[in-house]
Amino acid sequence: MELYSCDTMVALGNSTKSGNTIFAKNSDRPVTEAQPLVVIPAEEHKEGEMVRCTYIEIPQAAHTYRVIGSKPYWIWGFEHGMNENNVAIGNEAVWAREPEEKENGLLGMDLLRLGLERGSTAYESLHVITGLLETYGQGGNAAVGMEHRYHNSFLIADPKEAWILDTCGRRWVARRVQDTAGISNCYSTEEHWDEESGDVKEYAYANGWISREVPFHFAKAYSAMSLKHRAAHPRYMRLNKLLKQNAGNITLETIRGIQRDHFEGEILEPRWSPADGLHVSICMHAMTETSSKTAAASHVELIQDKTPVWWNAFAVPCMSVFAPYTVFSKLPETVSNAGAKYSKDSAWWQFERLQYAVETDYCRHMSWWRREADQLEHAFWKQVEEAGIPGDQQIKENTERMLQAVQSAYERIAADEQVSGDPQHQEMNETAKMRAEIL
């Protein structure tokens, strides 16, 4: 069974406690695909210079902004990121009635990074992406070891506004966010949008995807109602429900809780474990080798004319630690280092290995690890609250402290020879063991 998932969310100032825009994303990728955090400096480029993206080369811009982004190790683009202008973007894989382009073009992740490198506002980044989309298309395999092609949706935010961009091939529609919004792996634009590529309705009518006799509904017209879409819709509904419930009082802590959500209190209560069976959730755990899992997560409070803190977590958020960085940080090598296989000098792989260990008996190990992780996360939070954005030395010390805690937790679980005899954990134990073979 193949299930792919991501969730991106935003709350504008009219819905947050601070009055500032908050942006966040859980990036879900194929199992064991490393996703480090990188910083790309601003740069001036010569006329005629080209930039090599994942599959194709395109003309480079005269100037590119400094960006911080979370990227699959082998891909040029980002799953989510932010630039020096406080523009943040996340993308989602979506599937349409229209087949994906067969020729290689720009991946959605490439478009996202290009939007950050070339956009000074959310609106400008929106049109950087749509202009490149119309010129070069979106195409290419977006996974290692399997065929994984898709169209893309984007959520683009800055301190003043946010836009949702739904694309299908080289066509697109965009709408301005009014308060809170979350997107998942399904089209979310319905009967109203603010801008479009030009022939969105006529193309759908010509293909018989929707009747002229009913109100035009973009998602209903363009969506492929496949398993992938059906798996995304419950997350999409849950995400927006949680955002609406908290509107007016949303904080980074609220968003952090949403990013760790497994439908607690709605589908499964009082306990939850990945051993209970495959269950899509915002905090996504993989139960098979062909499904996806949350590989990295981030959130940021975007404040006009102020450098914001970019909070980043490796692996699934419920087992991870959100640590503070900035777009102007010099990142430790361990934070930006990750490849196809386990490496002890990679923060991403250290968290991934710990996740495998925890999932051998999730409820038992999480009972103590989450407490330790929360203490560490709270210490980082107090540090930012008292001293402001972290400097390079502070980030280095934070990283060392965090990875020491992860190593100690892994060693504690490895030394514990007791294996749960609870039958409901058996499937998870076997899956975790299988994944651990790559280490």
Using one digit for the tens of pLDDT, what is the confidence trace for 217-259? 999 999 997 666 667 889 999 999 999 999 999 999 999 999 9
pLDDT at position 433, please? 53
Cα 125 from Cα 165, distance rounded (Å) = 11
In this prediction, residue 31 carries a pLDDT of 86
| Contact (CB, 8 A) for 160 and 97 | no
Query: What is the pLDDT at residue 423?
Result: 36
Residue 186 annotated among the catalytic residues of the structure: no
The 10s digit of each residue's pLDDT in 332-357 is: 999 999 999 999 999 999 999 999 99
pTM of the full predicted structure?
0.94
Q: Can you give the pLDDT at residue 290?
A: 66
pLDDT surpasses 90 at 436? no
pLDDT on residue 266: 79
| CA proximity to 99, closest of 253, 248, 265, 224 | 224
More confident residue, 104 or 429: 104
Helix or strand run (H / E) with residue 417? none
pLDDT score at 265: 82
Query: What confidence category does residue 425 fall into, taking pLDDT thresholds of 50, 70 and 90?
Result: very low
User: According to the model, what pLDDT value does residue 422 have?
Assistant: 43
pLDDT in tens, 269-291: 555 676 666 578 999 998 666 67
CA distance 274 to 48: 51
**pLDDT given for residue 378 in this prediction:** 98
Distance CA(417)–CA(94), nearest Å, equals 43
> What's the whole-number mean pLDDT along residues 302-330?
97
| 284, HSE (Cβ side, Cα atoms, 13 Å) | 31
Q: Tell me which of 6, 53, 168, 283 is the catalytic residue.
A: 6
In the prediction, which pLDDT does 428 show?
44
Mean pLDDT of the residues in the chain = 91
